[in-house]
Chain A
Amino acid sequence: MTIPTEAPTEAPPESPAETPDSPPDNARGGVGESPQRPDATLKVTGEFAYGSDLWMDDMLWGVTLRSPHPYARIRNIDIGEALATAGVFAVLTHEDVPGNKTFGLEIADQPVLAIDTVRYQGEPVALVAADHPEIARQAAKKIKVDYDVLEPVTDARTALGHSTPDLHGELAEEVTELSREAAHLHPQGNLVRHLKVRVGDPTPSADVVVVGEYHVGMQDQAFLGPEAGLAVPDDVGGVDLYIATQWLHVDQRQICAALNLRPDQVRLSLAGVGGAFGGREDLSMHVHGCLLALHTRKPIKMVYNREESFFGHVHRHPATMRYEHGADRDGTLVYVKAEIYLDGGAYASSTPAVVGNAGTMGLGPYVVPHIHVDCYGVYTNNPPCGAMRGFGSVQAAFAYEAQMDKLAASLGMDPVELRIVNAMAEGSLAPTGQIIDSAAPVVELLERLRAMPLPPALDSSDLRHLPGGVSNTTHGEGVRRGVGYAVAYKNVAFSEGYDDYSTARVRLEVVGGAPQATVHTAAAEVGQGLVTVEQQICRTELGVDTVVVQPKDTQVGSGGSTSASRQTYVTGGAVQAACHKVRERLLALTQDYLHETLHDLRLEGGMVVSDTRGAVASIADVLGAKALEETLEWRHRKTEPIDPEKGQGFAHVQYAFAAHRAVVDVDVELGLVKVVELACTQDVGKAINPDAVVGQIQGGSTQGMGLALMEEIQISEGKIRNPSFTDYLIPTILDTPPMPIEVLEYADPHAPYGLRGVGEAPTISSGPAVMAAIRDACGLELTRVPVRPEHIIDSGDGRGSRGEPKRRQP
């Protein structure tokens, strides 16, 4: 299937036909179509209530006092003056946390409010509630915290006591004992996880060997809607929290533990979410808002501003990666050795899973007979890092794809050919020893990409097409074009034995004479369009036009996280399964209604339809006053933990594959880059909503491109130097090129409808393709992202002004 970038859109579903005698059209807006999102009208009129829009008459504003230091002991906290400020209702510290004083997604190592130590700049220390946000902010400044400032640990290798290896020397010895030189930030030391993969010959040799060390900077999710929520106390010690989040139930579990309350006392509802991309998987103000609400007995609104948002959520792990690839003369890979350091910052968050992905997916979609990978997740005093779209794989892809290009150059091979020679296919062995047991069309993705027409040559008569644009930095002199390719490979859903499930409640009844389905899940809609997909599945499975999506809340079981490209798969699977149970009951009712047994019935267009006899009854007539409701949990195939010594095991349930071709114009004199086009091919198994698939690919591609070119939280001495949209740049419409897309649909027989998770893969390959294109244009190695102008500028001696070595030419 080829989806043009200007896809026609479907008309909104109309009211169902009233007369059962004339069978209505097939349910409109089912699976495979692109109906309008149910929240679209509210979003274009400004009525959609995001977390920051919530409001109650008697509410107070909560603010957070954060540590200015990356690492310090707290000697004393004096809240007296703050508490005495007119308009202030409460000032709270760790002493006011009634339950567990620490929380965390996988490891509960992060204090709700700092206890005796702060481990990163921006760590929450105290809370204030007041009747105006400015009063609260001013009062927070009056809290006196006596800090004993310590030297922060800011480098991942140093934190582990590992030496920095010489680029051309041997890989570092495996380190078993932690250095005593770096301070231990947590009692168990600074290592969060060390993942090893050992496959084949431990001392392989090859005809051609290329080595490289690569660095990826810290990226921010930069969702547009900052963290926001409203906590409302009830009269009996419980609380309702309306919050923009990615996973209501994991929030609820952590909030209950911190507040020492039962789940029925902590009820969460999803407020409108202004984008997430991983940054809302951890708690932000959740416990804080609830604590203030319970203390003041008033509703508490908390909204971070942009600066606070940079301190208020985890970021993408920065990575330092050293790779060694060995291949035969014909390009066949013999071995890969990789050493990957992921700086997890002060608290664990999802670092173990990020290490799992980088370590097991970090060689890319290529068949490698001999493998030696060490992947480390490390505590430092840098900002905490955790989930962000494509995590683990995004970082590794910059390294493995740069290595593939370097290898191609050494062999005098075309980079696409080299990838094709080594591409995984269905039946290939992954580094975990798993057989890839559904489509892996890496070769086809590359071939289709290569066959797509290239954009026209640079038209330097229009400044807007040139690097630097209307800044008038060039009229075409010094501008060189480059083309680069990269391939993504990402595990979908939760891996390594995690009990990954979602819950759906589906109800079918007659409303106003027509059948109506209601679907209720707790799976967070963050902008991606899950609410539309839930409706589509109900329409297809139940043959109804009208599907009401219940607000997302904890009144129904967990939907799992809106992350890991998993919701359409797992919550989609749960909704489909619940629909099937409802349908079974409806068909049984139909037999009673018709007083006969028919075995070829299906639901379509509001009717019960027999394959042989056509429409036999209307769903409305069969149902009458009855409502059919089913709730169930649905799980994907079980995965298993990988073994700690060799990294083997059935760790991943599904893989997503995407490929990008980037075309860039680079002003090699000024180091400015204009991305001319970013083409993508992706296998999605089955496009449940083709327009939304394209939207995910385009949005994801843009985020990957942003990391390659501009997006970096700049840290020095553990401090964020650019916590604003003035200084942290994300791509604007001027930076973002046309993105032609071809979508393949090779069904995965293990997944609902054969679908494959979509959201992350395009974020993984777009950046490496852009980097490959820039290298192609300027001939430098460029081992660091985001690439900066000073890396690109050719100083005349064949090196960038920063001494970037010239790429070896074949």
Chain B
Amino acid sequence: MTVGTASTATCKFTDIIADPLIRERWDKVRRYFFLRESTYDMTNRCNIRCEGCYYFTGEKQFALENRDEDAWRQLMAAEKERGITFAVLAGAEPSLVPRLCRICSENIPLGAIATNGLKAIPRETDYRIHISVWGSDSTSKEIRKADCMLARQMDNYRDDPRAAFVYTFTPFNIDEARQITDTLAEGGQQITFNMFSAPVGYTGPLRHTAESLARTREVMAGLLADYPQTVLFSWYNIVAHTSDRGLHDLFSCTYPRMNASTAIGLGRSFRQYRTDLKWDRDAACCVPDTDCADCRHYAAGSAVVTARMYRHAINVESFAAWLDYVDTYLAVWVRGYTKGANLLTYPVAPPGSNQPPTPL
């Protein structure tokens, strides 16, 4: 498979977008530049307990739970006022507080919910729903201590256009991804890929190694090629998320936790609210308590890679890679957005990296 090395020569942006395919995709994605996200922990409870769970790490798990619906309504109104246009409802398990989820979606119409999928979230909350899958049912049983996860998840979200299954690759479930993808394809569902990213201080076996990253890369590439209708991913997603270097090292994370500037962008607007409706700038990112050096998380990439448009606008190939990434991001996160065919069918190196990505 060909590997493109990002050229250092800089083309004019007008020449890059003169290509009709690029132009069409650029016009499609730029309509969503108004999205400004913040993240909300909805409850400190979960109906299962997974090994390596990032929620039950660090301080945030101890925040008191605010279940006062008026307080949530006020928070959401204030968030909207502050310019937030996209709400990500996360930790621990939002499906346990469906009324609070509903309040969020009534105030901020665009958003996504991260759930383990074991309890259906009512349809009135019209957010994208990310259902986490950590491997085959036997692996899930071992790591998440839950039985028949995939069947239960699929039952809960059958024919539900809100659903996107998120398969988290660990070093131990790489080869199980094909079976899961196949099952989801048969069920008419969509899947995207996440990478286990170690929480701060985690020393367990789920942390990726160079070898597991390389194997993941191969499997992702195969699935992307074989299930183009089911897999919401691009070749550049593979490059960005399976590199030996983490996302921060590759792209400079723009979340407040790693970005001191409050002038513009995520550093200015992003907040990560805990269940007591407080937030702490020093800890604010989409996956707080994740070790930045090991961060390859899909939610992190969705902000960090996406924000780096300027550095990708150096030639048609790099910009096409970035557009594929953003098109994937929007398809995964925004209800009603339909992913186009990937512009690139091969990986290119991130701008400024001296080495091409490892061949697939």
Tell me if chain B binds chain A. no
Binding site for B on A (CB under 8 A): none
Binding site for A on B (CB under 8 A): none
